[in-house]
Structure 1
Amino acid sequence: MNPKIVIRCETDADVEAIRDVTVSAFKTLEISNHTEQFIIEALRAAGALTVSLIAEFDGRVVGHIAFSPVTISDGTGDWYGLGPLSVVPEYQRQGIGRALIEEGLSRLKSLNARGVCLVGHPDYYKKFGFRNLPGLVLEGVPQEFFFALSFDGHIPQGTVTFHEAFKADGRQEGAGDAV
């Protein structure tokens, strides 16, 4: 990775840049519903961004990663969801996503997190130790795209539910209801 890349916690001054990076990163991704920026905003508004890191190159925000709490139906606590992860297209494939993931996982471990799960590309996330775990599911997502990484060796069994903010789509409640 480029030594000019700095990974740090988001600040209030980064909010607009994070939105721009996220929109840019997902703009041409066919599997995206293009709501990732709204998810991050809803997580932030709910106080559910446990870890929110940015990657900065020469003072410009070029990447972002978010981690938020998840619920597992077997009652296992202290698990988190990774996502969205965004890197602007011209900076992709340069190790920025890897640096964001590694720093994010390190910070979660320091918070005594027990594990992380995500929806993502099989070839990418396996490099970090994420695996498809039989018995741990996210409804509506094919098992080959749902991954988990246990920090303490305990493998939860059940259904994972991501924060309510993952339903955000940018539409204001009540918008369009006026007569």
Structure 2
Amino acid sequence: MMLEIRQEDPQDQNAVQSLNLAAFENGPEAALVDALRSSCKEYLAFVAVEDGAVVGHILFTPVTVDGSDAAGMGLAPMAVLPSRQRKGIGTQLVRHGLEHLRRSGCPFVIVLGHPEYYPRFGFEQASTYRLVSQWEGVPDEAFMVAVFDDNALPRAGGTARYRNEFDDAM
């Protein structure tokens, strides 16, 4: 089966919503994606398509670091249809998205995710750069950053912030 990864199109919206509801067991992620799509002009999403069906989705939205002009992107959420998980689709989505952002000049990407999964893509513990999550109780090893431009991050670090829509979903 051929897997195609491309930028999300408006006609993908229903499939993406169904995918997120399935992947996250009806959690808040599907509503979060819909809210971000309508409110965030820098919304960047890719879909994985197999035999004409959307089987994976990844979303990047702007993040900032308090007290600085540092601006990068946050990866969240990333979802693969449960029946298609553990087949490398998520890996391809993450690689494609990060490569697109690196080429477009994005200085860094943060993720709150599985510490066994994301380091293979160049993510390191954000605390290495003195970055902390805006949410309390986030384990240090789960809050990570992939840095493409060392000069873009404030030397003093700071609190990295996702868009406000994420607070409503947490």
TM-score, normalised via structure 1 length: 0.85
The answer for the alignment partner of 2:101 in structure 1 is 108
Cα pair 2:65 2:71 within 8 Å, conserved: no
Aligned residues: 162
Q: How many Å separate the matches in 2 of 1:164 and 1:93?
A: 31
| Alignment pair present for 1:165 and 2:165 | yes
Cα pair 1:68 1:81 within 8 Å, conserved: yes
| Alignment pair present for 1:65 and 2:58 | yes
| Alignment pair present for 1:151 and 2:144 | no
What displacement does 1:50 show? 3.1
Cα pair 2:124 2:145 within 8 Å, conserved: yes
Gaps of 5+ in 1: 29-33, 170-179
Gaps of 5+ in 2: none
Q: 1:136 aligned to 131, 134, 138, which one? A: 131
TM-score, normalised via structure 2 length: 0.89
81 and 48 in structure 1: CA distance in 2 versus 1, 3 angstrom threshold:
farther
**What is the RMSD computed on CA atoms of the aligned residues?**
1.6
Considering only CA atoms, is the larger Rg found in Structure 1 or Structure 2? 1
Q: How many Å separate the matches in 2 of 1:60 and 1:49?
A: 25
Q: How many Å separate the matches in 1 of 2:44 and 2:98?
A: 9
Structure with greater proportional helix content: 2
What displacement does 1:49 show? 4.7
The answer for the alignment partner of 1:177 in structure 2 is none
Q: 1:39 aligned to 28, 32, 52, which one? A: 32
148 and 76 in structure 1: CA distance in 2 versus 1, 3 angstrom threshold:
farther
Percent identity over paired residues: 36
Cα pair 1:51 1:108 within 8 Å, conserved: no
What displacement does 1:52 show? 0.4
Q: Counterpart amino acid of 1:137?
A: V
Q: 2:16 aligned to 5, 8, 18, which one? A: 18
